Structure 1
Amino acid sequence: MAARFEDYVATRSVALQRFAYLICRDVEDARDLVQDALLGLYPRWASVVAKGNPDAYVKRSIVNAGISKWRRSGREHPTDVADLGDIAPDHAGSVTDSEVAWNLCETLPPLQRAAVVLRFYDDLDFSAIAGILGCPEATARSHVHRALTRLRSTLIEGSDD
């Protein structure tokens, strides 16, 4: 763990930007979210480090700011579910599985998307997810469960099987 704020930023900023990108799916917005989170962390650095997990603090700031931005803009990124059935299993088309997965994740509400990213990208357990999202562990489980249910139903609706 970096003892100095500058060391923390130097070692963690790229990973934090990747995390923020997974939350908002926009490179510039991700940079802004990380910068704002680090600006908020700087005056609290000593107390956050004393509590032991600056990453959790920053990730929570990123998620909260991403949700606030989403609420202010009121925009959602709809996915054309009809296109999901056109994907060939051999990846011959121009759409890859990862693009489909991200298009589907963009349809999730921000807290559910954040919970899925924390669970499957950061490989965190539910108690860690709850700590970052600032909710009880059962709520973190519920966010992930509801997100997966929604993703499954969207895939089933979009398939011809």
Structure 2
Amino acid sequence: MNHNDSFREFMAAHQQSLMRTAYLLAGDAHLAEDLLQSVLVKMLGRWAKLAHVASPQAYARKALVNQYISWRRRRVRTAELPSAEPPERPYSSEASTIARLTMQKALAQLPPRQRAVIVLRYYEDLTEHETAKLLNCSIGTVKSQAHHALARLRALAPEFAEMEDVKGAHR
């Protein structure tokens, strides 16, 4: 199997989950597509070398986080105007839609590192150790960023005040 075929297989297996991660980070479907595309283009160019990586999906997820943080730092402005509406999801109740939109709006107000920690820990269900490794920081930093982010989310969206802070939870 050549490298292009193995990359296609990787994409078929992981594109949906990577797009979800990109969307949760970017908060906008169009920006998420751009974010994922830029990461995948870089990965395709390095795919022969990535054959030795234990988990290409973890590599891609880390690249998404790094690219997202880099974009936020540079605050690149384009002529494109992102849509204020999230992508439609079939069969969702009005209450769950409102809760999802409220949480999305609150997430968008978090600093990039805190948002990345929340997405990786609670949406991607990664452990503190896995999150720390992806973000290239200590487990203590992940814990403190999650703590501060959850406190900020509670302040921004009081309806989620019952969110439990996972102090001392070592996954």
The bucket for the TM-score relative to the shorter chain is 0.7 to 0.9
Residue 133 of structure 1: how far off its partner (Å)? 1.2
Deviations 1:16-57 (A, max 9, x none): 111101000111211111111112222333443423111121
Give the Cα separation in 2 of the matches to 1:108 and 1:20: 16
Give the Cα separation in 1 of the matches to 2:46 and 2:139: 26
8 Å Cα contact 1:23-1:113 kept in structure 2: yes
- Give the match for residue 87 of structure 1: none
Residue 4 of structure 1: how far off its partner (Å)? 1.5
Identity %: 35
Q: Match for 2:111 among 104, 109, 112?
A: 109
Give the Cα separation in 2 of the matches to 1:92 and 1:46: 46
- Give the match for residue 148 of structure 1: 150
Residue 92 of structure 1: how far off its partner (Å)? 7.6
- Give the match for residue 58 of structure 2: 56
- Give the match for residue 39 of structure 1: 41
More helix by share: 1
TM-score by length of 1: 0.76
Give the Cα separation in 2 of the matches to 1:92 and 1:123: 25
8 Å Cα contact 2:132-2:139 kept in structure 1: yes
Q: Match for 1:98 among 80, 100, 122?
A: 100
1:60-71 paired onto structure 2 within 5 Å: 60-71=62-73
8 Å Cα contact 2:103-2:157 kept in structure 1: no
8 Å Cα contact 1:24-1:30 kept in structure 2: yes
3-state DSSP class of the match of 2:52? helix
8 Å Cα contact 1:21-1:30 kept in structure 2: yes
TM-score by length of 2: 0.72
Give the Cα separation in 2 of the matches to 1:122 and 1:5: 22
Corresponding pairs, count: 141
